[in-house]
């Protein structure tokens, strides 16, 4: 137990600069002690065994959102996944689905970020700002808590079946972000902002199969935001106001 046990890591390898070479899995054997995370194993492989392995990482504490990937079939952050929790001594690592692969475990996040930018992810206000803070009650602050916690790691985006069949679908993260602002007592976004989402690539695309909720490492519930935004849209359609 002290020296740890040998685990087999099967890691997805592919280089978009050499498209003629098909993707493959490369096997690494690594001794694992309790406390070792999947990210630490990846770092060790790159540092000691194969310097050509590509993956993203930064904070190693599950707050920056860099290292989302598929770990034994389940999407999660590599940095917060303990190797020891797997009974099976073989661990398969693959890149996030629904995005083009650049190299190995690194995917092209451009569509993810442009969907995020499309919902105008910033506080909109038209009233003049007070000299001090805009007051907000503890209750009002609590209302946005869940969506504020989103770290934009794209776990939900990778898990979403709608994104996989419709590349124009905005994705769960974008709606979670939009709801974060719509439900902020300080935001004065005009309800017209919802009109261009009134279609199947927008709010009506979601199958509500809750894959995004399952995949989120931060307990955000994007489906809830979609349901809430649909209500807001209907309210605006019927009453003509926010």
Partner 1 sequence: MLRHEVIIVGGGLAGLRAAIELCDKYDVALISKVYPLRSHSVAAQGGINAALGNNPEGRDDSWEKHMFDTVKGSDFLADQNAVEIMCKDAPRAIYELEHWGCPFSRFPDGSIAQRPFGGAGFPRTCYSADLTGHVLLHTLFERAISKRLKVYSEWYVLSLVSDGSMCHGIVAFDLIRGEIVPILAKATLFATGGYGRVYYYSTNALINTGSGIGIAYKAGVPLKDMEFVQFHPTGLVGTNILMTEACRGEGGYLINRLGERFMERYAPKAMELAPRDIVSRSIQREIEEGRGFDHPLGKCVHLDLRHLGEKKIMERLPGIRRICLDFLGIDPVYEPIPVMPCQHYSMGGIDTNEKAETPLSGFFAAGECACVSVHGANRLGGNSLLETVVFGRIASHSIEAYLSERDVKPDEKLLEEERKKVEKKIERLTGGGKEKPAKIQLELSKIMSQYVGIFRTKDELEFALGKILEAKERYRSVGISSKKKHMNYELMSALELEFMLEVAHTIALGAYLREESRGAHFRRDKEERDDSKWLKHTVMTIDREGNPSVSYKDVVITRYPPEERAY
Positions in 175-194 near partner 1 (CB under 8 A): 181, 184, 186-187
Compare residues 10 and 44 and give the one whose CB is closer to partner 1.
44
d(CA 25, CA 10): 6
Give the 3-state secondary structure of the chain: CCCCEEEEEEEEECECCCCCCCCEEEEEEEEECCCCEHHHHHHHHHHHHCCCCCCCCCCCCCCCCCCEEEECCEEEEHHHCEHHHCCCCEEEEECCCCCCEEECCEECCHHHHHHHHHCCCCCCCCCCCCCCCCCCCHHHHHHHHHHHCCCCCCHHHHHCHHHHHCCCCCCHHHHHHHHHHHCCCCCCCCHHHHHHHCCCCCCCCCCCCCHHHHHCCCCCCHHHHHHHHHHHHHHHHHHCCC
Residue 136 found at the interface with partner 1 (CB under 8 A): yes
- Does 65 participate in binding partner 1 (rule CB under 8 A)? yes
* The one among 4, 26, 63, 213 contacting partner 1 by CB under 8 A: 63
Nearer to partner 1, 50 or 168 (CB): 50
Q: Which of 103, 201, 235, 242 binds partner 1 (CB under 8 A)?
A: 103
**Contact residue for partner 1 among 8, 24, 59, 190 (CB under 8 A):** 59
Nearer to partner 1, 171 or 205 (CB): 171
Q: Please say which residue, 98 or 104, places its beta carbon nearer to partner 1.
A: 104
Tokens at residue 12, please? Answer: 């997805």
Q: Which of 4, 12, 26, 43 binds partner 1 (CB under 8 A)?
A: 43
Q: Which is nearer to partner 1, 175 or 205 (CB)?
A: 175
Closer to partner 1 by Cβ: residue 94 or 184: 184
How would you class 143 by CB atoms within 10 Å of its CB: exposed for 0-12, middle for 13-18, buried for 19 or more? Answer: middle
Smallest gap from residue 165 Cβ to partner 1 (A): 26
Q: Within positions 197 to 226, which residues make up the interface with partner 1, using CB under 8 A? A: none
**Does 152 help bind partner 1 (rule: CB under 8 A)?**
yes
Which residues in this chain contact partner 1 in the complex, by CB under 8 A? 15, 17, 35, 37, 43, 46-48, 50-66, 80, 82, 102-104, 106, 109, 113, 117, 120-123, 125, 129, 131-138, 140-141, 144, 148-149, 151-152, 181, 184, 186-187
């Amino acid at each position: 137990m002290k020296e740890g046990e040998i685990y087999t890591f099967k890691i997805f390898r592919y280089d978009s600069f050499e498209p003629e070479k098909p993707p493959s899995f490369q096997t690494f054997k690594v001794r694992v002690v309790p406390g070792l995370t999947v990210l630490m194993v990846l770092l060790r492989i790159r540092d000691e065994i194969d310097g050509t392995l590509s993956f993203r990482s930064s904070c190693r504490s599950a707050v920056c959102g860099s290292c989302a990937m598929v770990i034994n079939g389940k999407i999660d952050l590599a940095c917060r996944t303990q190797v020891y929790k797997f009974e099976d001594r073989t661990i398969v690592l693959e890149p996030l689905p629904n995005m083009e692969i650049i190299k190995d475990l690194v995917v092209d996040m451009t569509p993810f970020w442009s969907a995020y930018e499309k919902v105008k992810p910033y506080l909109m206000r038209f009233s003049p700002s007070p000299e001090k803070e805009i007051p907000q009650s503890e209750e009002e602050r609590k209302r946005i808590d869940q969506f504020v916690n989103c770290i934009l790691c794209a776990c939900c985006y990778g898990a979403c079946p709608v994104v996989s069949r419709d590349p124009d679908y905005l994705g769960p993260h974008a709606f979670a972000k939009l709801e974060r602002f719509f439900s902020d007592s300080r935001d004065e976004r005009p309800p017209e902002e919802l009109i261009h989402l009134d279609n199947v690539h927008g709010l009506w695309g979601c199958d509500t199969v809750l894959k995004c909720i399952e995949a989120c490492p931060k307990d955000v519930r994007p489906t809830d935001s979609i349901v809430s935004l649909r209500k807001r849209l209907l309210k605006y359609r019927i009453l003509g106001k926010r």
